[in-house]
């Protein structure tokens, strides 16, 4: 047996325990780091070929593994941009240079330009779906992603271009009207011109005969003092439209087949609109009128919200809610073989496999939990136990090294 081999084996054991202690130190230091995944050191033996009459001591080899697929517990917060993943997947982030990485650390806050970044300095990436755009997803790549920005989302004024009735009924038992200004029913609808000014429209219904109604629309700005008739010249929008209703057993109070189903006019200072009246009825019930329109007034961003499927909504001061980004999740066939990088992020490695991108809840990916953060998956009790084991192992290996050194001294001193 070689005494030098004994010393090298002892040194190898001390080095292995030192590596284990290093991973324990990292784990303990990051016990409160959001999204941190614990590291562990595993040992494997290196055996040297020996003869029948002697034994050549080998050494021990270490390999560091990361429990990246092991989830941490959820800690709930009050910040809408704190995001956690429940289940499989990673957020896609990028550094200042645009290099993409994966992470589970979702403590995002806006920087001075409104770009969302986490405590590691990495920017959250998503698909821009403003103005109703459909996300162009690249299933096996990170193309078409951009940094999520919540500041540059002031709501510009948009004109009303679509309007219609969600539900409306004219009372079939109402008395016949003599015509303006003697109306049967009235309601008002808010629309918007080309620069976002609110334009109030007054809508009048006149029952002119059995199952026959005239509808007129006026610009409220032209109403007489105190409102209503007489309106100033030019205030009527479009022309008077006559609607007839089918009260047979087949029609049941719906618009007759020969009746018009809409009214066309131009909003003052705005766009042409075709007001859809097709769902209007005339039955023996009180008057009701519920209309929907698009368009909006200019408004500032109030807050953002993120749904479980990763859709980020911008909520404006006037209550308007617009989908602005779709945040994807990414994964790889072997998450534990991703390469850890500075800032609690991971890069693709040869052993991890290629990246796969989809939205939360699809393709085996988890869901996004807003106002939550994933805690470190480090168990402090286990780490302290491992630290003691490593310390004892290091001490024992040092004794082997010291014993080999002492025996070597005895061998050298045999000749005097």
Per-residue pLDDT tens digits for 215-260: 999 999 999 998 999 999 999 999 999 999 999 999 999 999 999 9
- Per-residue confidence band for 157, with pLDDT thresholds at 50, 70 and 90: confident
- Residues 159-173, mean pLDDT to the nearest whole number: 95
Q: For residue 39, is pLDDT > 90?
A: yes
User: What's the pLDDT score for residue 416?
Assistant: 62
What is the percent of the chain with per-residue pLDDT over 90, rounded to a whole number?
73
Percent of the chain with pLDDT over 70: 97
Residue 372's pLDDT is 96
Confidence of residue 155 (pLDDT cuts 50, 70, 90): low
Say whether pLDDT at 212 is over 70. Answer: yes
- 137 or 375: which leads in pLDDT: 375
> Please, which pLDDT band fits residue 174 given cuts at 50, 70 and 90?
very high
Backbone phi and psi for residue 14, each to the nearest 5 degrees, phi listed first: -65, -40
- pLDDT band at 301, cuts 50/70/90? confident
Chain centroid offset of residue 312 CA: 5
Whole-angstrom distance, CA of residue 18 vs CA of residue 152: 50
Q: pLDDT tens digit string along 73-122? A: 999 999 999 999 999 999 999 999 999 999 999 999 999 999 999 999 99
Among 12-16, 133-137, 402-406, the minimum mean pLDDT is found in: 133-137
Q: Is a pLDDT exceeding 80 seen at residue 304?
A: yes
At 258-286, the pLDDT tens digits run: 999 999 999 999 999 999 999 999 999 99
CATH number of 163-293: 2.60.98.20
pLDDT (0 to 100) of residue 51: 64
Give the pLDDT of residue 153. 65
Residue 168 reports pLDDT greater than 80? yes
- The mean pLDDT of 182-188, rounded to a whole number, is 95
Mean pLDDT (the chain, rounded): 91
What are the residue boundaries of the structural domains of the chain, listed by start? 3-70+377-412, 76-150+319-374, 163-293
* In the predicted structure, residue 60 carries a pLDDT above the cut 70: yes
The pLDDT confidence band at residue 139, using thresholds 50, 70 and 90, is confident
SS (H, E, C) the chain: CCHHHHHHHHHHHHHHHHHHHHHHHHHHHCCCCCCCCCEEEEEEEECCCCCCCCCCCCEEEEEEEECCCCCCCEEECCCCCEEEEECCCEEEEECCCCCEEEECCCECEECCCCEEECCCCCEEEEEECHHHCCCCCCCCCCCCCEECECCCCCECCECCCCEEEEEEEEECCCCCCCECCECCEEEEEEEECCCCCEEEEEEEEEEEECCEEEEEEEEHHHCCCCCCCCCCCCCEEEEEEEEEEECCCCCCCEECCCCCCEEEEECCCCCEEEEECCCEEEECCCCEEEEEECCECCECEEEEEECCCCEEEEEECCCCEEEEEECEEEECCCHHHCEEECCCEEECCCCCCCCEEEECCCCCCCEEEECEEECCCCCHHHHHHHHHHHHHHHHHHHHHHHHHHHHHHHHHCCCC
Q: How confident is the model at residue 1 (pLDDT cuts 50, 70, 90)?
A: low
Tokens of 357: 């991108």
Residue 208 banded pLDDT, cuts 50, 70, 90: very high
């Amino acid at each position: 047996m070689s005494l030098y081999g004994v010393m090298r084996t002892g040194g190898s054991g001390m080095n292995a325990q030192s590596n284990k202690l290093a991973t324990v130190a990292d784990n303990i230091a990051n016990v409160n780091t959001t999204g941190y995944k614990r590291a562990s050191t595993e040992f494997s033996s290196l055996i040297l070929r020996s003869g029948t009459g002697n034994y050549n001591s080998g050494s021990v080899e270490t390999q560091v593994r990361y429990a990246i697929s092991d989830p941490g517990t959820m800690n709930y917060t009050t910040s809408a941009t704190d995001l956690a993943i429940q289940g499989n997947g990673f957020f896609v982030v990028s550094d200042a240079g645009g290099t993409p990485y994966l992470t589970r650390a979702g403590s995002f806050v806006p920087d001075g330009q409104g770009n969302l970044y986490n405590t590691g300095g990495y920017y959250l990436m998503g698909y821009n779906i403003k103005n109703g755009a459909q996300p162009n997803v690249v299933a096996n790549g990170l193309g078409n992603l951009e940094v999520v920005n919540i500041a540059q989302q002031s709501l510009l004024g948009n004109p009303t271009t679509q309007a219609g009735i969600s539900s409306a009924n004219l009372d079939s038992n109402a008395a016949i009207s003599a015509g303006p200004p003697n109306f049967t029913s009235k309601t008002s609808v808010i629309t918007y011109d080309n620069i976002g000014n609110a334009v109030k429209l007054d809508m009048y219904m006149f029952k002119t005969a059995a199952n026959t109604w005239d509808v007129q629309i006026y610009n409220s700005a032209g109403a007489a003092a105190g409102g209503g008739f007489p309106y100033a010249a030019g205030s009527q929008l479009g022309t008077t439209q006559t609607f007839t209703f089918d009260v047979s057993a087949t029609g049941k109070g719906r618009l007759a087949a020969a009746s018009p189903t809409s009214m066309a006019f131009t909003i003052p200072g705005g766009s042409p609109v075709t007001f859809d009246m097709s769902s209007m009825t005339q039955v023996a019930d009180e008057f009701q009128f519920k209309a929907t329109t698009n368009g909006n007034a200019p408004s500032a961003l109030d807050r953002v919200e993120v749904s479980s499927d990763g859709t980020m909504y911008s909520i404006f001061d006037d209550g308007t809610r617009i989908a602005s980004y779709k945040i994807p999740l990414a994964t790889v066939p072997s998450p534990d073989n991703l390469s850890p990088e500075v800032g609690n992020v991971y890069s693709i490695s040869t052993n991890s496999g290629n990246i796969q991108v989809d939205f939360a809840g699809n393709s085996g990916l988890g869901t996004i939990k807003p106002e939550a953060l994933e805690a470190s998956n480090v168990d402090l009790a286990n780490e302290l136990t491992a630290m003691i084991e490593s310390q004892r192992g290091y001490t024992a290996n040092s004794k082997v090294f010291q014993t080999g050194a002492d025996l070597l001294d005895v061998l050298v001193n045999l000749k005097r």
